[in-house]
Amino acid sequence: MPRLLLFALAAVAGALSVFAFAPWRMFWLMPLLLAALAELAERRPASAFGTGYAWGLAAYTTNFYWIYISLHHVAGLPSVFAAPLTLLLPAYLALYPGLAVWLSCRMAGRAWLRWLVAFPAAFTLGEWLRGWMLTGFPWGTAGYSQITESPLSGLAPVGGIYLVTWAVALSAGVIVVFARVRPRNRVVLLALMALVWGGGYHLRHRSWTQPVGEPVSVALAQGNVPQSLKWDPQAAQGTLALYYRQVATTRTELMILPETALPLFLEDLPSGYLTMLKGAAERNGTALAVGVPRRGSSENSYYNAVVALTQPGTPAYAKNHLVPFGEFVPLPELTGWLYQYMNMPLSGFSRGGAFQPPIEMAGQKIAFNVCYEDSFGEELIAPAREATLLANVSNLAWFGESAASSQHLQLSQARALETGRYMVRATNTGMTAIVRPDGEVEMVAAPDTRQVLVGTVQGRTGLTPYMIHGDTPILAAMGLLLLIAAVAGWRQRSQSPAYRIY
């Protein structure tokens, strides 16, 4: 097969991966598309890296097209800069599937060893690496495509999203190898798939945590403030009035406002506003947490924070895992000049600290996380162990009416599954939602509407296997599988240099 045709077909397969994730959620598509990648690489192993790179470049471009909306339509960056910068992230991320396919073909000689042992391990490690390198960007990890419609989602509480990713890649390998093995060995492959998918289905119906305390009524505010007005000084008074009305007219035990709902530093809010807001909540018997930027103790330090206004001492959580280019400027000497073209205030936040204890509110111990912090499963384990409830506050108005908010909801569903706890989400424009401990969405507010979502949650206690062990076991297992593939491949090559498929 000509190389250009090979790359084109790989790009088509990668581009279709967007439909495997929310809002389309065609979970069955991801194993097929990874199988297409493996099959194309099998046709021409010498071009394995290029095949994997073409697949990844198309996949991540179609999945993260909303970066252009953020840079151009919202931040105002001219297209001549926004378009190449939009492609920059996919161009980097595509290195990982490219290297995974190249390594699989390099290490193993026989098809079954490549695609049943080496490829699932290499691809999973690549997904983990891109979620860690350069502060990490795990959004779009293959395992998320299985949350929560697929039986494989039952593996998340056991080994996290990377165990689910490995199961997807293994399924793809089985598809590729099935026609290449002897008929009697196909029974083994079918049994393997029955074990993986059937095991996931069985685990999907197991509860790993237990209820604690009484159910709590919760209200999640969705202000739907356009990003173009959010930081406009002339619109600030209207935004403050909006959230005061939502708080004053809501009667629940707990209420949470979105990320940076109050568009001024906590210390710069109009005199008496916090007193009014707190008083309205207390009159309604509501424990109130609000997203608001606040200044730090040192000069030029400020935080993206969630403040519990009604609690003694006003405890707060400050975002720790910041968004590169959005909340901090990496290599400012090289990239700082771009900000003169963009309307992007508060792009120099400080980190809040690696471990911040849950905040006690309304009889719950709440582990807060801000925006895409819920992309990092292992980072949420420590606070979740001490918490009875998880809460995410976000502002995705940066991405317009794109798939970003639906994709983000899928991340929260994975975190609820991994920790066996409710996850409540208060967002500016969507998806404001209540997610059950089994990862299912119990309630969701219509996106791009102004409303308060009201429901009931139940605190949970106990630990899932993933909360006990984290990512370490699955990463160690992937390393062991690669070692086995390398040793077996070396022995095959030393015994017979001829390439064999069986």
Q: Please give the positions annotated as active site.
A: 259, 319, 371
Q: DSSP assignment, residue 3?
A: H
Task: Give dist(CA 164, CA 168) in Å, integer.
Answer: 6
From the CA atom positions of the chain, what is the Rg in Å? 24
Q: Which two tokens stand for residue 99?
A: 């290297």
- Find, among 92, 124, 213, the residue nearest to 476 by Cα: 124
**Which string of DSSP letters, residue by residue, matches 50-63?**
HHHHHHHHHHHHHH
3-class DSSP state of 1 = coil
Measure Cα distances from 432 to 23, 220, 394, 459 in Å: 14, 7, 9, 19
Amino acid present at 450: R
Helix ranges, 46-182 (H): 48-63, 66-68, 79-93, 95-107, 111-113, 119-130, 156-178
Q: Which two tokens stand for residue 393?
A: 């506050």
Q: Residue 55, Cβ neighbours under 10 Å: how many? A: 30
| Inter-residue contact 164 to 123 (CB < 8 Å) | no
- Cα angle, residue 55 at apex, residues 178 and 482 outer, rounded to 5°: 55
Beta bridge partner(s), residue 389: 366
3-class DSSP state of 94 = coil
- Find, among 432, 424, 430, 425, the residue nearest to 458 by Cα: 424
Distance of CA 166 to the CA centre of its chain: 17
Residue 476's contacts (CB-CB under 8 Å, 6 or more residues apart) are none
Task: For residue 4, count CB atoms less than 10 angstroms from its CB and return exposed for 0-12, middle for 13-18, buried for 19 or more.
Answer: exposed
Task: Give dist(CA 237, CA 286) in Å, integer.
Answer: 23
Structure-token match 């899928």, residue found: 410
Q: Is 435 left (phi over 0), alpha (psi -120 to 50) or beta?
A: beta
Q: DSSP assignment, residue 440?
A: -
| Inter-residue contact 443 to 86 (CB < 8 Å) | no
